[in-house]
Amino acid sequence: MKVILKQNVDSLGKAGDLVKVADGYARNFLVPKGLAAEANSRNLKVFEHDRQRILQQAEKIQKQAEEAAVRLNGVTCTIARRVGEQEKLFGSVGAKDVEEALASQGIEIDKKSVLLDEPIKALGEFPVRIKLSAGVTGEIKVVVVAES
């Protein structure tokens, strides 16, 4: 199925591109989330009319994401956890914990945007990437300390 991308999608392309994808991917993911529209004759005409506006909007979102990434690069959040013998954590620090720590500092980030390869299970300072937009990530420092 051919679709017209309304927003930048990492694995497919930029807003305004005409791409061919599997039918199920288009029907079940891209179209319901508003990321794309089916490329039929009516949608192609509407899209050509709105193309400039869509491209400007995508550029504006990209610019906002880049500015947010610059602001995030200096952020450090501290998370306190109970520790046992040999300074080993009870449990771990996951994406939800990072989201809550950032929310307490006034930074609203969705937990799905927190890119952790695996949960943090030790004390110390760790770099954590935050996905802000397609192709734009920021990096924060997460400091895990012992709860007193």
For residue range 66-108, list pLDDT tens digits in order: 888 888 888 899 999 888 888 788 888 999 999 999 899 888 8
- pLDDT, residue 30, reads 92
CATH number of residue 52's parent domain: 3.40.5.10
Closest CA to 16 of 65, 50, 40: 50
Helix (H) or strand (E) holding 103: helix 95-104
- pLDDT, residue 26, reads 92
Closest CA to 124 of 143, 140, 101: 143
Question: Quick check: 75 and 143 in contact, CB under 8 A?
Answer: no
For residue range 106-140, list pLDDT tens digits in order: 888 888 888 998 989 889 999 999 988 777 888 99
* Residue 49 and residue 10 share a domain: yes
Type of residue at 147? E
Q: Does the reported pTM lie above 0.75?
A: no
* Residue 85 and residue 59 share a domain: no
Range of the domain at 108: 73-146
**Stronger pLDDT, 19 or 53, i.e. the higher one:** 19
Domain count within the chain: 2
